[in-house]
């Protein structure tokens, strides 16, 4: 009877929650994530609630929570690895510490600046927010109330224009 099964699980979940959440917090590193993980755990449990009554509800609930946390930590770690790889793809200065290598010449900078000035205000602003402010497309989109695709488009458009200026400069 699904009634009794979900009742069983809810009861076990409610009584185990403080301990599971503390565990989740120590593994996930913060309170918000731990709360989310408890939510996820409960959603999973409630989706599984159509089966027969379980013999050991406490063990069942604990296992579900553990799986959710382990999965989260694994994804989090993978996320950090991806971020690190992306950062190194973008910024690793090969073996050369000297940043002069990546500084644009003064004359070209002037041309690039004036080209930037001629861009529509919105495109320019979005470009600077991302390139110099290091603000993600998602955050910019949220802040300006536009789509992430639109943010990409504005930045892409500015970069294309600046690259054209560089190319005409003979770079």
Piece in contact with another protein (CB under 8 A), picked from 6-14, 19-27, 55-63, 124-132:
124-132
Tell me the site size for another protein, rule CB under 8 A.
52
Candidates 19, 74, 122, 138: give the one binding another protein (CB under 8 A): 138
Tokens describing residue 158: 């500015």
Q: Give the HSE-up count for residue 153: Cα atoms under 13 Å, Cβ half-sphere.
A: 8
Question: Residue 148 Cβ, how far from another protein at the closest point, in Å?
Answer: 8
Let me know: does 127 contact 137? Beta carbons within 8 Å: no
Site string for another protein, 14-33 (x = CB under 8 A): ---------------x----
Fill in the DSSP letter of residue 101.
G
Q: Are 62 and 20 in contact (CB under 8 A)?
A: yes
Q: Give the ranges where 97-147 is alpha helix by DSSP (H).
A: 106-118, 121-131, 137-144
**What's the min distance (Å) between Cβ of 87 and another protein?**
6
Site for another protein in 45-64 (CB under 8 A): none
87 touches another protein (CB under 8 A): yes
Q: Is 117 exposed, middle or buried (0-12, 13-18, 19+ CB in 10 A)?
A: exposed
Q: How far apart are CA 128 and CA 113, in angstroms?
A: 12
Which of the stretches 4-12, 37-45, 61-69, 86-94 binds another protein when contact is defined by CB under 8 A? Answer: 86-94
DSSP state, 94?
Answer: T
When the beta carbons of 38 and 155 are compared against another protein, the nearer one is 155
Which residues in this chain contact another protein in the complex, by CB under 8 A?
29, 78, 80, 82-93, 95, 97-104, 109, 112-113, 116, 125, 128-139, 148, 151-152, 155-156, 159-160, 162-163, 166, 171
């Amino acid at each position: 009877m699904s009634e009794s099964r979900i009742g069983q699980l809810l009861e076990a979940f409610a009584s185990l929650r403080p301990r599971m959440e503390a565990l989740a917090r120590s593994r996930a590193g913060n309170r918000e994530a731990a709360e989310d993980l408890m939510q996820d755990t409960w959603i999973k449990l409630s989706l599984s609630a159509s089966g027969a009554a379980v013999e050991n509800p406490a063990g069942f609930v604990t296992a579900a929570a553990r799986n959710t946390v382990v999965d989260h930590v694994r994804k989090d770690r993978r996320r950090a690895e991806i971020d690190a790889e992306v950062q190194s793809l973008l910024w690793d200065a090969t073996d050369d510490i000297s940043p002069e290598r990546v500084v644009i010449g003064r004359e070209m900078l002037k041309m690039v600046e004036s080209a930037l000035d001629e861009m529509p205000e919105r495109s320019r602003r979005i470009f600077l927010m991302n390139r110099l402010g290091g603000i993600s497309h998602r955050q910019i989109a949220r802040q300006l109330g536009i789509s992430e695709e639109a943010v990409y488009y504005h930045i892409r458009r500015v970069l294309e224009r600046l690259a054209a200026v560089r190319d005409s400069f003979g770079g």
